[in-house]
Amino acid sequence: MARCWPLLWVLCGLAWLAPPGLPAFLQAHSRRHRLKVSKSALKDAGRDKDALSESLTSRSELGKDSEQLLRSFPQLEEQCGPYVISSQAPVLVASTRNLSNEVLAELRNGQVVQIQELSRLEQRLRGRLKEESDDPRWISLKNTQTGFRWACPKGALDEIEGKLQKLEAQVKEEKERTSDLPGEEESEMDTLVDLLYLKALFAQTAAGLPPLSSFERSRLGTWAMFGRGLDNWNAVAGKQGFEVPLVVVSGQLRREILRSLDRKRYCQSLVDAYTQEQLRSPGQFQGFLEGFREAKNRVLKEIGGASGLPSLKSAPQTASAWTEQDFGKWIGVFRDVTTSTRCFQADLYFGHALFGLSLRRLCRRFELELSTQSFFTSEQTSESEEVLVERFKNFVEMLAKNQLLGEVLSLSPNLIAAIRRQTKAIFGKGLRDELQQPIERASKEIEENPDDVPPIAKHTSFLLEAAERGELRMLSVSLEGKERILMDALTFGVFLQDADDESVRRLIASDD
């Protein structure tokens, strides 16, 4: 483990301590205290942008083929033919291509329909069903603004599913070949990690959910802007700044995301509480969420977050020289810069995905407890939604109080690697070492050239200098952008847990 990791974690952790600052404040202070960094000192910090722009993170050939299909799915050219209903809510059938309150029928998730005609209407793609009768029947296929699909082309899904089945067969063969080798059971296996990662992506796609776009656009720049109201950040980024289109989590899309997570109201209440907390608006489940945050931070620190532990070694440094006055003057600026690093945002995504995993595990434990109580009491009572919400709240708070969240957050090497496949695809590769380099230079500057400039100011300036030179990839996110990233990570985590559960079931079945 690199010896500088404690300092790197302290620096990132301090960003949470500061109140939200204004980018304008950042501009003024960063310009005033800018430190000159020689070109020779930054020469070795360059990177092969073309190599990092490669977004595929699967390692097996079958995995790469499947991932390519999944990533290109949103750009599919719409054609007539068979479609699979992907929405968890009933899809309404109308007699006209225009939206109508007249409902002729309802289609359920998983049903296959034949589309014989396509029509674009406002922000929707509508499809005419192929029927034996001449009476026209139309359904919505896709929201062209958000990318959500009420129905997905069956041919494209079948092609991806076929490749995943081949990948699953390959995993089985490798397991049988390595089952007698010591230490292989707990080690990471590339094909299995690919399978878990891609099944989670496939579940998102099959649910009709629009994927989160990659922020890796090195030809455009290295400082991504995700959301509205980021003009001041654009001014700081300069020529490195570029915009990434944002699909706002609207009411309709939010409902579909919540349905894909779990249609039970008690589960959605926990999702709402977590979302409110992350967007700086505390709600219910505070005891559980505080316990989850502590457990999550321990996990992230232990494994090195989304990007892993830094590979470079350096002499240990501490933040003990930072005075209260230094914090008061610089902590807001430091927070703004640090939380806008791509590395920090990838760690946030990783943490949200962990919550998705935990959410699925908690709900299944709760269902097991309910069924167990019903079995021993021989009572078949149907409780109201309000009662279930309250019981679930007491259940998760009890877990937090009894310090059982570590068990809920237990992660296998394969699950860690699968989440990292996703964060690398979205945010980029090599982020931890990339962040470490300007911190190393700042630490060296502090040691070799002591002066009156506070250490936190030097760390901030070196980070910003690296960002403006394009050597530190950045991501500035609006409140709407934060919600979009959070929701994508939650669904990925939930579907990843489903994929892992299915993998375990298949393994048990094969042993029998």
Alpha helices by DSSP H, 279-341: 286-303, 324-339
CA distance 327 to 284: 31
Are 251 and 376 found together in one domain?
Answer: yes
Higher pLDDT, 512 or 91: 91
Instruction: Report pLDDT digits (tens) over 61-73.
Output: 999 999 999 999 9
Are 82 and 44 found together in one domain?
Answer: no
Instruction: Evaluate whether residue 149 is within a structural domain.
Output: yes
Are 121 and 19 found together in one domain?
Answer: no
pLDDT band at 89 (very low <50, low <70, confident <90, very high): very high
pLDDT at 276: 87
Are 132 and 246 found together in one domain?
Answer: no
Are 21 and 104 found together in one domain?
Answer: no
pLDDT over 60 (residue 5): no
Instruction: Report pLDDT digits (tens) over 203-248.
Output: 999 999 999 989 987 678 999 999 999 999 999 999 999 999 998 8
How is residue 470 written in tokens?
């394009």
Are 98 and 229 found together in one domain?
Answer: no
Closest CA to 73 of 10, 142, 170, 157: 157
Average pLDDT score, the chain:
82
Contact between 284 and 269 under an 8 Å Cβ cutoff? The reply is yes
pLDDT at 330: 74
Average the pLDDT over 261-271 and give the result: 81
Instruction: Evaluate whether residue 505 is within a structural domain.
Output: no
Terminal C-alpha separation, the chain: 41
pLDDT at 434: 92
Are 266 and 117 found together in one domain?
Answer: no
- Which segment of 30-39, 216-225, 430-439, 476-485 scores lowest on mean pLDDT? 30-39
The percent of residues in the chain predicted with pLDDT above 70, rounded, is: 79
DSSP track, 25-73: HHHHHHHHTPPP--HHHHGGG---HHHHT------SHHHHHHHHHHHHG
CATH of the domain at 122: 2.30.30.40
pLDDT over 80 (residue 281): no
Instruction: Evaluate whether residue 61 is within a structural domain.
Output: no
pLDDT at 64: 94
Instruction: Report pLDDT digits (tens) over 390-418.
Output: 888 888 888 877 767 777 888 889 999 99
Average the pLDDT over 262-269 and give the result: 79
CA distance 24 to 231: 10
pLDDT at 30: 46
- Which segment of 48-57, 187-196, 256-265, 474-483 scores lowest on mean pLDDT? 48-57
Instruction: Return the ∠ at Cα 349 (arms to 423 and 262), rounded to 5°.
Output: 110
pLDDT at 264: 76
Are 90 and 29 found together in one domain?
Answer: no
- Which segment of 143-147, 246-250, 279-283 scores lowest on mean pLDDT? 279-283
Instruction: Evaluate whether residue 264 is within a structural domain.
Output: yes
Long-range contacts of residues 168-176, Cβ cutoff 8 Å, at least 24 apart: 168/195, 168/506, 170/60, 170/62, 171/195, 172/510, 175/507
Are 395 and 264 found together in one domain?
Answer: yes
* Last residue within a domain, chosen from 120, 135, 153: 153
Instruction: Report pLDDT digits (tens) over 346-399.
Output: 999 999 999 999 999 988 888 888 887 765 555 555 677 788 888 888 888 888
| pTM of the entire predicted model | 0.86
Query: Beta partners for 163?
Result: none
Instruction: Report pLDDT digits (tens) over 451-469.
Output: 877 888 888 899 999 998 9
pLDDT at 34: 42
Instruction: Evaluate whether residue 359 is within a structural domain.
Output: yes
Are 276 and 138 found together in one domain?
Answer: no
Instruction: Evaluate whether residue 165 is within a structural domain.
Output: no
How many domains is the chain built from? 2
Instruction: Evaluate whether residue 500 is within a structural domain.
Output: no
pLDDT at 267: 84
Are 331 and 465 found together in one domain?
Answer: yes
DSSP state of 453: S
Instruction: Evaluate whether residue 439 is within a structural domain.
Output: yes
Higher pLDDT, 43 or 445: 445
* Last residue within a domain, chosen from 121, 153, 185: 153
**Residue span of the structural domain in which 19 resides:** 5-55+214-485
* Last residue within a domain, chosen from 153, 180, 197: 153
CA distance 245 to 124: 19
In angstroms, how far is CA 290 from the centroid of its own chain? 20
Are 51 and 82 found together in one domain?
Answer: no
